[in-house]
Amino acid sequence: MKLSAITDSVLSLFIMILVGVYGSKKKIITSQINKGLTDILVQIALPFMIVSSFIFTYDHTIKTNIVHTFYYSPIAYIVIIAISYLLLLPIKNDKKTILHFANVFTNTGYVGFPILYSIYGNEGVIYGSIFNMFFVIFVWTYGLMLFKDFKKKEFKKEIRNVLLNPSIIAIYIGIVIMVFNIRLPNALISSMKSIGNMTGPLSMFIIGVILSNIKIRKYLKDWTIYYGIITKLVIIPIIIYFISILLVDLSKAVITVIIMTAMPASTMTSIFAESYDKQKEYAALLVSITTLLSLISVPILLKMIIS
């Protein structure tokens, strides 16, 4: 895909973000409405996008890439956890927790899927969905453990919640459709795709609302913010990219994993910080700035890895 097409896609997402900022500033999208939009995105639009992405003709290469994504994704998470731990040794206390969580858990759903779709279409969304499946698994196990100490019964409950997550269920359905080559009625397919297409705009509106509420001045002299941004958007994606070069594998499956690791900090960073009262403003600022700067860093990375 040409760089100009990638740039156009990213700029399109940025314009949608500006609409979200406008909506927030004009009180059209209040915090309560934004929460509702988030629920619609996570519970409805994204799952429909995932299921509909599995509905097309598969060839041997696609099926091979799907298998590769299944084992490249958890490996990528483990590598990132190790890299992030080493890079953040100079930082202490709750800020380290926030930065580590942000490094490991990227914005796969809100930003990752729209970008993958703009590059590879439905095929990219399939690979991204598999990566996102491991995101859900890791965030509600390892990610939760970073913020909370919980008992065995609570752990089992969280695992059950992971398995019943709407996006995970959507992947189950999509895999069944793919494996058994199930033919669905055209009206159903059209409806699912239309609902799934709301994912991009909704995601960008939500991010715009987050960006409209950041308070930058308070943290301008905090070096950990700058270090965290560079670590998240530059160092870790480049390390993952060079590892893929050493493996002599730049298939779509691998490129998808690299792209997903290069996404900005997940909004779950801010949500968990809010829930467990750990550096709430710091987390919100990190999410907002990495999202904004990813509009520059992601196209540069894509130029490096996509010919």
Q: What is the CATH number of the domain that holds 120?
A: 1.20.1530.20
Q: What is the DSSP string of 171-221?
A: HHHHHHHHHTTPPPPHHHHHHHHHHHTTHHHHHHHHHHHHHHT---GGGTT
Closest CA to 7 of 122, 124, 118: 118
* Digitized pLDDT (tens) for each residue of the chain, 307 residues in all: 445 556 666 677 778 888 999 999 999 999 899 889 888 988 898 889 888 877 766 677 888 888 889 889 999 999 999 999 999 999 988 899 999 999 999 988 767 887 888 788 888 888 888 888 888 788 877 887 888 766 666 667 777 777 787 878 888 898 888 788 888 899 999 999 899 888 878 878 887 887 787 777 778 888 999 999 999 999 999 999 888 888 777 788 888 999 999 998 987 888 788 777 788 888 888 888 888 888 888 888 888 887 5
**For residue 304, which amino acid is it?**
M
Q: Could you give the CA distance from residue 107 to residue 264 in angstroms, rounded to a whole number? A: 6
Q: Give the residue numbers spanning the domain of 78.
A: 3-298
19 part of a folded domain: yes
Kindly report, residue by residue over 163-198, the tens digit of the pLDDT: 787 878 888 898 888 788 888 899 999 999 899 888
304 part of a folded domain: no
Kindly report, residue by residue over 9-40, the tens digit of the pLDDT: 667 777 888 899 999 999 999 989 988 988 89
CB 29 within 8 A of CB 209: yes
CB 87 within 8 A of CB 148: no
SS3 97: helix
116 part of a folded domain: yes
Instruction: Count structural domains, the chain.
Output: 1
The angle subtended at Cα 70 by Cα 204 and Cα 270, nearest 5°, is: 35
pTM for this model (two decimals):
0.78
303 part of a folded domain: no
306 part of a folded domain: no
47 part of a folded domain: yes
307 part of a folded domain: no
